[in-house]
Structure 1
Amino acid sequence: MTRIIQSLAEIAGEYDTIFCDLWGAVHDGQRAFPSAVEALLAFRDGGARRVALLTNAPRPAVMIEAQLDRMGIPRAAWDVIVTSGDAAQDAMLRGVVGQRVWHLGPDKDDSFFTDLPPDLPDDSPRLPITRVPMDEAEGIVCTGLFDDMTEGPQDYLTVLTEAAARGLPMLCANPDIVVDFGDKRIYCAGALAELYQQLGGEAIYVGKPHPPIYQLAARSLRLDASARIVAAGDGITTDVLGAINEGLDALFISGGLAFDQFGPDPEAPLAQMLDEWLAGRGLAPTYSIGRLR
């Protein structure tokens, strides 16, 4: 049975680390959630506990850091930022989709190819990567839609059918299907990867709920097997499933993507509705909270 809590402080004493989602948990893509920021500041308590911000954003951590600065989220609220983009860069530079790649994504994600980490974990070789048109590519790096404000996956049916027929593997830099950008719900790279698989193509995932991003977070914080970690987020098939697969306690933020499923007040999910919804998905997070606070 999932325990509904009213604040992160209720369980903070049981953990020394939190892996916390960003979009839907700490901000909505435009504005920070003040109560969530305060909760992380209190959890961290001057550095007594550790906060890793885990996001499926397809951009390097330095870009997310700048975004949080613009939103006024203090750096004292977190220790490290780990992105799906970081993990995907790691995979790309190892050559998982070849060295000649077609970038499927917006211009704002160009930093994925230019703002590269100074080194790779475990002294892995760094392969030179060249961006080329799709008809010259060995593989695809998908960071999102070209225009996520106006387009959907079906706009890519023709080009993805062609790519699948050519047998091009796709590295998906953001497994999220959708996110809420302010009041608008938009598609992410995960929606294109899902369609690509339906068309017979191969998709490679590194963000939540897949292991590479959690492994990168643990290395970034230098955690060992004794670490007491809770993972928080509003994505049932990303944050919650990923935490459970990694053997971590999960804190489901029900007032995020699924805010309208648990009664009239997103801040106060109704227990019966929450239990029925979770049972229908075969998942039982350790805790649930309306909004992170």
Structure 2
Amino acid sequence: MPRLIRGLAELADGYDVVLSDVWGVLHNGAAYFKKAAEALERFRAKGGAVVLITNSPNPSRIVRAHLDSLGVPREAYDAIVSSGDVTVALLIERAADALFHVGPAWETALFEEVLALTGKKLRLAPLDQAGFVLCSGLTHPARETPADYDASLARMRDRGLDFICANPDIVVQDGEDLVYCAGAIAERYAAIGGKVIQAGKPFPPIYERALARATELRGGELAQARVLAIGDAMRTDIKGACDQGLASLFVTSGIHREELHGAGEDAALDAAALRQFAEGAGFAPTAAITELAW
């Protein structure tokens, strides 16, 4: 059973760095959470560093622009590392091959970032002519489900195509709704024997990048035992922290709200449900909090 806390202040003295999730912890896609931003600001004010670590398939500059548009104060964080940043590095490595893109047609930030960094355009191709696949999400999120991609996934597997997943999240909270992400399609591809390359949490590359940035912020020194990861998704945020040997703080009112709090909008955390939830996952966070606050 993780330790239940009321505020980050109860843990803050034990850590020099916070790696905080964004969607579900700092905002819900439509509005930012002022208590969460204040908590991160106060952690920084006492000398800590905050790196936002997100499974957004966009480069960190796009994530920052979105945070600005929501009104998130820049004083709440020092740096951003996104799944999109890792994806850009993977795309640059494979720039000689044409790719098949699964995702909204308007989602071009990854391609623009590669062009800005290398001066070269990526080549897009139909599935039957591509050398690998990039998935940044569902092409039509409002009217599709991951099952709609099964026929295409079978063709990808038959061709032996690598599948780069720019966002390992299965779902994300968008306002009051849960929306499927690229990870839901990647999960189905892996289930039929396809090779998936994951750019974000809970996989190592994004943590390596985030910890390297945190080490820079701390002047070149960082003890892993002094790093706290914060997130609302057991499968990505908490599992990733556990796999990397990091302490973690689980925000229970994010995507798992209904399982842990019930249907009521202001329902309190059910401690027994949390215990069962952690036992079912096979791993547990260091501590849990209803919503991130100081």
In the aligned structure 2, how far is the partner of 1:239 from the partner of 1:45?
24
In the aligned structure 1, how far is the partner of 2:177 from the partner of 2:33?
17
Secondary structure (helix, strand or coil) at the match of 1:131 reads: coil
Secondary structure (helix, strand or coil) at the match of 1:207 reads: coil
- The corresponding residue for 1:35 is 35
Q: TM-score, normalised by structure 2?
A: 0.91
Distance 1:45 1:118, change over 3 A: farther
Q: Give the aligned residue type for 1:243.
A: A
Distance 1:136 1:184, change over 3 A: same
Identity of matched residues, %: 38
Cα distance, 1:160 vs. partner? Answer: 1.4
1:159 equivalent in alignment to 2:158: no
In the aligned structure 2, how far is the partner of 1:113 from the partner of 1:78?
26
Cα distance, 1:127 vs. partner? Answer: 8.6
1:204 equivalent in alignment to 2:201: no
In the aligned structure 2, how far is the partner of 1:139 from the partner of 1:117?
18
Q: Which residue of the other structure, out of 118, 129, 132, is the alignment partner of 1:136?
A: 129
Q: Give the aligned residue type for 1:172.
A: C
In the aligned structure 1, how far is the partner of 2:257 from the partner of 2:68?
27
Q: Which residue of the other structure, out of 103, 106, 115, is the alignment partner of 1:105?
A: 103
Residues 6-46 of structure 1, C-alpha deviations (whole Å, 9 max, x = no match): 01111111111100001111111111111111111111117
Cα distance, 1:76 vs. partner? Answer: 0.8
Asked whether the equivalents of residues 91 and 114 of structure 2 are also in contact (C-alpha less than 8 Å), the reply is no
* Alignment coverage as a number of residue pairs: 286
Q: Give the aligned residue type for 1:178.
A: V
Asked whether the equivalents of residues 243 and 249 of structure 1 are also in contact (C-alpha less than 8 Å), the reply is yes
Cα distance, 1:225 vs. partner? Answer: 4.3
Residues 61-113 of structure 1, C-alpha deviations (whole Å, 9 max, x = no match): 00001000000001111001110010111122122x96211111113320101
Q: Which residue of the other structure, out of 229, 232, 241, is the alignment partner of 1:243?
A: 241
- The corresponding residue for 1:191 is 184
In the aligned structure 2, how far is the partner of 1:138 from the partner of 1:14?
47
- The corresponding residue for 2:231 is 233
In the aligned structure 2, how far is the partner of 1:38 from the partner of 1:273?
29
Structure 2 unaligned residues grouped into runs of 5+: none
Q: Give the aligned residue type for 2:32.
A: A
In the aligned structure 2, how far is the partner of 1:159 from the partner of 1:98?
23
Asked whether the equivalents of residues 267 and 290 of structure 1 are also in contact (C-alpha less than 8 Å), the reply is no
In the aligned structure 2, how far is the partner of 1:99 from the partner of 1:24?
35
- The corresponding residue for 1:170 is 163
In the aligned structure 2, how far is the partner of 1:115 from the partner of 1:92?
10
Residues 182-209 of structure 1, C-alpha deviations (whole Å, 9 max, x = no match): 1121110000101111222111112000
Cα distance, 1:281 vs. partner? Answer: 1.0
In the aligned structure 2, how far is the partner of 1:108 from the partner of 1:128?
16
In the aligned structure 2, how far is the partner of 1:164 from the partner of 1:49?
46
| CA root-mean-square deviation | 2.0
In the aligned structure 1, how far is the partner of 2:4 from the partner of 2:261?
14
Secondary structure (helix, strand or coil) at the match of 2:250 reads: strand
Asked whether the equivalents of residues 37 and 72 of structure 2 are also in contact (C-alpha less than 8 Å), the reply is yes
Asked whether the equivalents of residues 19 and 53 of structure 2 are also in contact (C-alpha less than 8 Å), the reply is yes
In the aligned structure 2, how far is the partner of 1:8 from the partner of 1:131?
45
Asked whether the equivalents of residues 2 and 288 of structure 2 are also in contact (C-alpha less than 8 Å), the reply is yes
Which aligned pairs between 1:47-62 and structure 2 lie closer than 5 A?
A: 48-62=47-61
In the aligned structure 1, how far is the partner of 2:165 from the partner of 2:7?
34
Distance 1:267 1:51, change over 3 A: farther
Q: Give the aligned residue type for 1:89.
A: V
- The corresponding residue for 1:15 is 15
In the aligned structure 2, how far is the partner of 1:272 from the partner of 1:94?
47
- The corresponding residue for 1:72 is 71
Cα distance, 1:277 vs. partner? Answer: 1.3
The runs of 4+ residues in structure 1 deviating greater than 3 Å are 116-120, 126-129, 263-268
Secondary structure (helix, strand or coil) at the match of 2:172 reads: strand
